[in-house]
Amino acid sequence: MNYLIIDDEPLAHRVIEKYTQKLPSLTKIGNAYDAFEGYEFLISDSVDLIFLDINMPKLKGLDFLRTLAKPPIVIITSAYREYALEGFELNVCDYLLKPFSFERFLMAVNKAASLEKKELPTFLSQSNLNTLQDAAKKIFIKGDRKYHQIDLLDILYLESYGSYVKIFLKDHMILTHETTSHFENILPKSAFMRVHKSYIVAIQKIEIIEGNRLKIGDKQIPIGNFYKKDVKKLIKG
């Protein structure tokens, strides 16, 4: 994603730039120190994401946002928590309260990445289109002390592994220090389903459902009693 920082504080720019250096899929378009400079970037460059401050001279961040007919994805970065509700009413992606950690920043970027839709084939049925649109997103996953950007379409299934989760992709596996519940909350429910306390599966990757098991590739995955009703709904459509 191409991003733009709009903030009157140079230090705020440095913090965001430091964080984005760890995320190679983010490309900086420019630095704007007031809303008018930001607008110049918007009319001359392709901007996917704005990190927008609120309390700026000349024109406040939220007032600037109201002037945009079709704004890019916006993450608010502000020291003032009282504007959060107003920001979300303007459909901002996230609201980061300064000072914010890299982990919190990464959560916001993951949300932003999940809002980007890939171009999809036009011959798909509407139900399949909606499912693929939800799956056609990317998120960052921390594994092996690195942050991996993964395409949700590449995920086969997730397996709980003690205090870790194994994410099985088309051609490799990532071990991450997260919980299965964490991924259940962030993965689109139209594309992923929890079928066992230890497993989440990509619905489009299921090959066979038989008895208390389902098959993805060479993997036989158990279906927990608590989740049987959801699997039955899937079969009935």
The confidence score (pLDDT) of residue 234 equals 80
In a domain, 202, yes or no: yes
Q: Look up the CATH number of the domain holding residue 170.
A: 2.40.50.1020
Q: How much of the chain is in helix, strand and coil states, percent to nearest 5? A: 35, 30, 35
Would you say how long the chain is, in residues?
Answer: 237
The confidence score (pLDDT) of residue 186 equals 84
The confidence score (pLDDT) of residue 83 equals 84
Grouping H, G, I as helix, E, B as strand and the rest as coil, residue 41 is helix
Query: What does the block give as tokens for 54?
Result: 């609120």
pLDDT profile of the chain (237 residues), mean per 10: 96 96 92 94 91 92 90 94 85 92 93 65 42 58 83 91 93 91 86 94 92 94 94 78
pTM above 0.75, yes or no: no
Q: Which residues contact 22 (CB under 8 A, 6 or more apart)?
A: 102, 147
Strands 213-216 and 219-222: what pairing?
A: antiparallel
Strands 94-97 and 73-78: what pairing?
A: parallel
**Within this chain, do residues 29 and 81 fall inside the same structural domain, yes or no?**
yes
Count of the separate structural domains present in the chain: 2
The confidence score (pLDDT) of residue 49 equals 96
The confidence score (pLDDT) of residue 24 equals 85
Please give the residue range of the domain that contains residue 217: 126-236
In a domain, 121, yes or no: no
The owner of tokens 């990757």 is 205
